[in-house]
Amino acid sequence: MSGRLFHSGRIAIVMVGLPARGKTHIAVSLARYLGWLGVKTRIFHLGDYRRATVGQGGHVPEDYFYPNASPASVVLRQKILKKCREDIYGWLNHENGQVAIYDAVNPTASGRRSLAKEFAKHDVQTLFLESYVDDENLLRENARNVKIGSPDFANMDPDEAAKLYLERMETKIPMFETMNERELNYIKMINAGQTFFYNNLSFNYLSHRIVFYLTNTHIKSRATFFVRPGTATEEDSYKADAPLSEEGLKYASVMTETVIKHREQARASRIASGGSDIPLRPLTVWCSTRMRTLQTADNFKERGYKVRQRSQMAEINPGVCERLSERAIRRLYPEEVEKHELDPYHHRYPRAESYHDLAVRLEPIILELEREQNDLLIIAHESVLRVLYAYLMHCSTMDIPNLKFPRNEIIEVIPSAYQNEAKRIHIPGLDPKTVPGSPEDIRIPVPDSGADTPAPLPGGGLTAPATPSIIVEKPPEKVVNTAAEAVRDKIADED
């Protein structure tokens, strides 16, 4: 796969906006979506080049962002910009890249015009994307959630720290011109997507997909919970739309109580640590149209929560593998098993779906998920949870078939400082028989050692812990996200 969409050409998406406007959050989300479409995309954070140039512990001059900066500051600025742009061209020209996202303030109209001309000389189309925020409450929330993780604001009241940060940025970047260049291609996203303004977007299919995605996204923080449905009376059948078993009904009740209790405890903890005393966001529940997911969601519906059915969220179709044991599949379809071992994400068994097929089916759900502003609970089969979790956490496609969601855990994904973070929430008091992975899922091929589930992911993926021998109530446990660690140093960025 080339990583380029035919006829779409090469595109530079140039971010525009002051700090704490959500630029990097938007850039990371957009890169994740384009990667999901199979488009080879990379983000070039100008802050990375600034840090590399000034060295560890170094600082840029106070007048670095000033239009009338000193000659030394101008030279430093040009040196940093030159290196960043050289890397962009090198990646587009020699690594078959298609979309380069240039993440920086880009504060002046003259600078943006110059940038568009320079990209045009290299046969690269330019799309500017400005995040414009004039809502003071939203500004403070963004600064509080993202920027005040810097040591400069340690032990300060969050609201005071956010106010101080914004004042500091006004001093450091005294001149900013919002986009109004009629000859340029640009999108202006106003107040986290409340309003959009488009100018001169006259090129290709891919740019329109980008616009469509952006109109379905926002920069407001909200949590997404992933959970399995309860066990059904015919658990090993794909075709039978069986109701919940007695154990499945008990599971649904305990899981509902756990989700509600966790949200209330998280709010109490936030207030106790100095956060704002604001009400919980509403919780919306999504499930497939299968009987087991509908019945699992009934407890929420009875408590007044909004439950929405999504037909696209049906589990992966196992085709001829339904009800067959691993041994039988290996005996009947040895060539298919060999192909599956080479590429478990794209391979499909006869009359079955691959994980790639499932991902394509779930694309409308992805866009709805990005648009949702309430907290969201998704009740779905393990195969569906794998694909949706992998999208939000930017997992490799090769990892998707191995992600595990045991029934005694709820996974909470929270948008955070440029990358999403995840936590496991233990569901106490379940019968151990309800915990293992779904038998109706395609969980083969497996190692010849006789284990009945795929090996854990290397490097600490989302894997299933051993089932506890006694009932314990555990605190939420953070899931390691290496993608988040890769951008941790951008928290205090001013670029």
Closest to 82 (Cα-Cα) out of 35, 132, 139, 44: 44
Q: For tokens 């600064």, name the residue.
A: 143
Tell me whether residue 241 is one of the annotated catalytic residues.
no
Count Cβ atoms within 10 A of the Cβ of residue 436 and give its class: 0-12 exposed, 13-18 middle, 19 or more buried: middle
Q: Report residue 14 as tokens.
A: 């140039």
Distance (Å, whole) CA 368 – CA 375: 13
Q: Are 353 and 316 contacting, i.e. CB atoms less than 8 angstroms apart?
A: yes
Helix (H) or strand (E) holding 489, with range, is none
Distance (Å, whole) CA 258 – CA 299: 12
* Other CB atoms within 10 Å distance of the CB of residue 99: 29
Distance (Å, whole) CA 231 – CA 290: 12
Sign, CA dihedral 178-182-187-189, equals positive
Rg of the chain (C-alpha set): 24
477-479 and 409-416 strand pairing? unpaired
Q: Are 352 and 317 contacting, i.e. CB atoms less than 8 angstroms apart?
A: yes
Distance (Å, whole) CA 412 – CA 410: 6
- Side chain identity at residue 374, one-letter code: N
Report the first-to-last Cα separation within the chain, whole angstroms: 34
Distance (Å, whole) CA 180 – CA 175: 15
Distance (Å, whole) CA 491 – CA 291: 44
Catalytic residue among 103, 375, 399, 441: 103
Q: Which residues have a catalytic role annotated? A: 103
